[in-house]
């Protein structure tokens, strides 16, 4: 999976903006996806919607004070999709972006 395809997951399942794609890819490359890594993508989750890397895996979350049943349902679907993507899968593509 490429960084663009990872962003596609955030667009499709998290309602992230297409306009933030380049910013995300650059951020991912510059930080070499190291911990701590977090990227605010907002979408369905308001200003607290973030993508994080934890133990080599991507995971989304949002501010607990913004919690709703709908957001929890969207988050579960998105995190199920992200669970299938590993940092090891993305890493080779980050070198291509240099």
Whether this model's pTM surpasses 0.75: yes
Q: What's the 3-state SS for 2-70? A: CHHHHHHHHHHHHCCCHHHHHHHHHHHHHCCCCCCCEEECCHHHHHHCEEEEECCEEEEECCHHHCCHH
Number of domains in the chain: 1
- Residue 35 banded pLDDT, cuts 50, 70, 90: low
User: 29 pLDDT exceeds 80?
Assistant: yes
Region 11-15: mean pLDDT is 97
Q: What percent of the chain clears pLDDT 70, i.e. is strictly above it?
A: 93
Q: What is the domain extent for residue 26?
A: 3-96
Give 83's DSSP letter.
T
pLDDT tens, 64-97? Answer: 999 999 999 999 999 999 999 988 888 888 776 5
């Amino acid at each position: 999976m490429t960084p663009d395809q990872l962003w596609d997951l955030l667009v499709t399942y998290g309602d992230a903006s297409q306009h933030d794609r380049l910013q995300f890819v650059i951020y991912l490359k510059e930080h070499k996806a190291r911990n701590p890594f977090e990227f605010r993508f907002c979408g369905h989750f308001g200003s607290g919607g973030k993508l994080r890397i934890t133990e080599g895996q991507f995971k989304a979350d949002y501010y607990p004070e913004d919690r709703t049943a709908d957001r929890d349902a969207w988050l579960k679907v998105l995190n199920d999709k992200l669970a299938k993507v590993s940092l090891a899968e993305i890493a080779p593509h980050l070198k291509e972006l240099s």
